[in-house]
Amino acid sequence: MQLSMYQRFHQCRKAATRLQCAWIPTLVSKHTRLLNTRPDPGRCSSFRIPANSNLAGRRHIGSLSSGDFGASLEQPLSRTIYGHSEGEQMFGFHDIDYHLFDYLSDDQGKLSITKFLQALRTTGLRESDPRLKECMQNLNSVQTEIIDIDSVQNIYIDRETFRECIADNIVLIAKAFRNQFIIPEFVQFTQRIDELFWRAKANTQGQLASYIPQLTRFNPESWGLAICTVDGQRYSLGDAYDPICLQSISKPLTYAMVLDEIGPDVVHQYVGQEPSGQAFNTISLDPMNRPHNPMVNAGAVVICSLLKQGMNLADKFDYNQQKLKLLAGNEYVSFNNSVFLSERQTADRNYALGYYMKEKQCFPKGTNLHELLDFYFQLCSVEITCDSGAVVAATLANGGICPITGVKVLEPYCIRDTLSLMLSCGMYDYSGQFAFKVGLPGKSGVSGGIMLVVPNVMGIFMWSPPLDHYGNSCRGIQFCEDLVKSFNFHNYDNLRHTPRKMDPRTFQVDSQANIVVNLLFAAYNGDVTAIRRCALMGMDMSHADYDGRTALHVAAAEGHTPVIKFLLEKCNCSPFLKDRWNFIPIDDAKRFKHTETVELLQLYMQREKDKQRLQGNLNYEEIPTNSKTS
């Protein structure tokens, strides 16, 4: 059966919606120059899996039969994307590897491993991602075998080799290239993050922490930041790989572990949930003789006493380290013994706080205070980097499931309670202002670190040693405040009516296109109600498509007089707007012989010219009453 152009168009539209193939034009346009370059025989080599390779003979994921795409599997991909004849099938996960190869390969039917990895990085995935382990091992195996044969700079592989290499991780790779991650336009998002990062870098305010001697030795110019989304998209800037101590950032993590172990009912018999309104190291308790919350020193020490009460100190520390490793996706977690010794040596106030709480019977029976405080100092001296800290934050954002390993580390209710307390109590005496200005759960430490969680979206970890008088990183606070000014991440941002803020969870191009398409289709259908709805939503009623055609052009071409009247009278649209061919709306009305529409437009054009003449604007004097078409 021969399909009409109209039918093929709608088939394409439905298929594109179902498959979410919006990544294809972006990716192809970005890599056109690279993919159309022929391999240099002197610098590169193609490769096919040898029969004795460890990849040979493996089962293909979603192998295609000869009937899947007509008589030949080598037909142009444009036909697969933009329309298909009877008997052809649109593709899904099972054959995405086949089409991905075509989109990235050169005109000789070979694909550069380097270019594939570069394209993968633009989606936010890293080669070190555990979810891509098999794919990376296979690609490395291929590269090793070919390099043993011939020394080359670029290695090209054929279709079957490529499909074998990515088969084990095809679901994740397909999701990445189809832009189905939480941040679909990751490159554009990171460009804005770059701007905010360097703006905060210029902030030279603040002083280094002085009460722990080891912390005074940091470089005040240090500034690092890392991001990890709930889909495992990663981005790092500056000193993101420098080891830093968690300090107070360990408090919400330990609290979540204890919640997961013994439950909130038991935990909150020993510690409250209210902001204290006092300094984090104040020697005070609430009216029930409990620490006010787990984010102040008193509360954190009590929480440490509840963690694995039957274990000795060494086993308890190992347990905490293993949990942190899981939260960080097995990335960098270590321990700084010099900071631990330095902190223990200057811990008079914490000892005073401990003895005060012991006198008030705040601890479980049998608690050894000196061992407990040593354990607390150890947790504060645990080292991470911004890069691994971002994964920890992303695990909290993802409900306790590590985004790069898929391991469920903590129960969702533990994360919910932890984030609630981070929002209300996580930033020392600045917590109220931070909740007001930033509106996101955060936790800071005197080492200069800040862990920020955007629930269900991403985790951000930043570090800069200079602190304000509250004990928070000056650069980190500025970045957080600038972040919510640029993106609608604040808990109480309206997702629909904050036009000056970007929503990185949506396609910016798609959002703009939807506005124009809705407006033009309403004009095409003569739907005054829909046009009125668009106007009430604050749309620019003179919005044009890529050909410069506005709703007024479309309504004039269709002869919808009520729509034209509404656009001209109520929306003050200009009847002189030109499309890319320099046609104004009256030209379309004349072309399709809508006499009534022509007369109406002539009337409004004359009114507009008279109005401009009275206002002294001579621009409209040059526009003749008779348009370019007759």
Sequence letter at residue 254: T
SS3 label, residue 590: helix
Buried b (16+ CB within 10 A) or exposed e, 4-16: eeeeeeeebeebe
**Residue owning tokens 């922490």:** 209
Q: Which residues are catalytic?
A: 248, 251, 376, 428, 446
Q: List, in sequence order, the alpha helices (H) in 23-112.
A: 23-30, 32-35, 77-82, 96-104
**Residue owning tokens 């709608």:** 10
Q: Following CA atoms 319, 333, 482, 472 in sequence, which dihedral angle do they give, to the nearest 10 degrees?
A: 70
- Residue 46 CA: distances (Å) to CA of 60, 105, 153, 157, 611: 20, 12, 11, 5, 70
Distance CA 381, CA 403 (A): 25
**According to the 3-state scheme, what is the secondary structure of 135-193?**
HHHHHHHHHHHHHHHCCCCEEEECHHHHHHHHHHHHHHHHHHHCCCCCCCCHHHHHHHH
| CB-CB neighbours of 76 under 10 Å | 9
Cβ contact 188:505 at 8 Å: no
Distance CA 127, CA 137 (A): 10
Distance CA 405, CA 326 (A): 9
**Residue owning tokens 């998209």:** 233
Angle (CA) 386-387-393 rounded to 5° is: 80
Sequence letter at residue 349: R
**Residue owning tokens 């044969």:** 149
Element (H, E) at 112: strand 111-112
Element (H, E) at 326: helix 313-327
